[in-house]
Amino acid sequence: MSFDDFDSTMGYQLHENNRSIRFMQLMEEYDTITWENFLSIKYDATLPDSLYYNINVNAVFRMDPSLAGKAAPTVRILQKWNRRGELNEIGAAHFNEFYFHLMTKKKWIDVDEVKAVQMIESLHYAHEKLLNNFGKIEVTLGEYQFLFRGDKTLPIRGLGDVLAAMYSRPYKEGKVKGVAGDSYIMLVRYPIKGLPIIETVNSYGASNRPESPHYADQMDMFVNQERKQMTLDIDLVRNQAERIYHPK
């Protein structure tokens, strides 16, 4: 089949992005995919070595740090960063602040390859913001990015455009909160015999009512890449039901 076999209004993109490149890299590592391999791919939070964002900022990983002046430590952190969006990583927060500030200048730069001199303002912004809010430059992602719900706050992994994506927005005191990306997850296996094996988790909980015990009761599972068992066995559902009622 080719793209000509599909209607153009279906909106298939013809270019690669960070997720597609990373996915292909991971798939090349396996001849067959086990359940454990699948979970590792699904929860992967690493960007490819060469980035494929809307703005080509790969030059920041090659530039002379001294060109950034007082932001040179931030450049060195970015150049040592392994492109991972894990909680203990130093560099993910720096890239997040640097890139999103640079996006505000998109009209004034060459998005195909940003020059070092064009990145310096955004590097200074990221450097000063982290230093002023955290009192240090070596800030981990777990100190910077959080999942919020009511009075519950948990560090959350992930970055924009990784496979297990987490897009964030400013919150307070230099911290950011996850607002998009992974949310409701359902993983289903189909055995040869019997009902499907179902695992699910919600980023917050099953209720939007703050007074409900299920308002934020799945957050810990979500941030720890855990899931709960579900079932299509109606008898088991009724036996384990917290409450059975009929909507009026």
Domain ranges (residues) in the chain: 12-181, 185-240
The b-or-e profile of 200-209 (16+ CB within 10 A means b, else e) is: bbbbbbeeee
Q: Which residue has the higher pLDDT, 107 or 224?
A: 224
| Whether the predicted pLDDT of 233 surpasses 90 | yes
- How confident is the model over 15-70, as pLDDT tens digits? 889 999 999 999 999 999 999 999 999 999 999 999 999 899 999 999 999 999 99
CA–CA separation, 244 vs 141, rounded Å? 42
Q: Which residue has the higher pLDDT, 1 or 125?
A: 125
Which among 110, 69, 77, 112 is positioned nearest to 96, based on CA atoms?
77
Tokens 């934020």 identify what position? 216
Q: Are 126 and 71 in contact (CB under 8 A)?
A: yes
Q: What mean pLDDT comes out for the span 119-137?
A: 97
| Whether the predicted pLDDT of 95 surpasses 90 | yes
Q: What is the pLDDT of residue 101?
A: 95
Confidence of residue 114 (pLDDT cuts 50, 70, 90): confident
Q: What mean pLDDT comes out for the span 71-98?
A: 97
Q: What is the pLDDT of residue 8?
A: 78
Q: What is the pLDDT of residue 247?
A: 83
Q: What is the pLDDT of residue 100?
A: 93
Q: Which residue has the higher pLDDT, 220 or 110?
A: 220
Q: What mean pLDDT comes out for the span 126-138?
A: 97
- As a whole number, the mean pLDDT across the chain is 94
Q: What mean pLDDT comes out for the span 129-135?
A: 97
CA–CA separation, 134 vs 153, rounded Å? 17
Q: Is 130 exposed, middle or buried (0-12, 13-18, 19+ CB in 10 A)?
A: buried
Confidence of residue 224 (pLDDT cuts 50, 70, 90): very high
Q: In CATH, what number does 12-181 get? A: 1.10.1400.10
Confidence of residue 142 (pLDDT cuts 50, 70, 90): very high
Q: What mean pLDDT comes out for the span 183-200?
A: 96
> Please, which residues have CB within 8 angstroms of residue 123's CB and are 6 or more apart in sequence?
60, 68, 71, 74, 75, 98
Whole-prediction pTM: 0.89
User: C-alpha distances in angstroms, 112 versus 27, 101, 214?
Assistant: 28, 17, 46
CA–CA separation, 149 vs 183, rounded Å? 13
What's the start-to-end Cα distance of the chain, in Å?
Answer: 50
Which among 218, 220, 230, 147 is positioned nearest to 186, based on CA atoms?
230
Interhelix angle 92-103/116-134, nearest 10 degrees: 120
Q: What is the pLDDT of residue 248?
A: 77
Which among 118, 116, 138 is positioned nearest to 127, based on CA atoms?
138
Helix/strand/coil for 145 = strand
Q: Are 155 and 145 in contact (CB under 8 A)?
A: yes
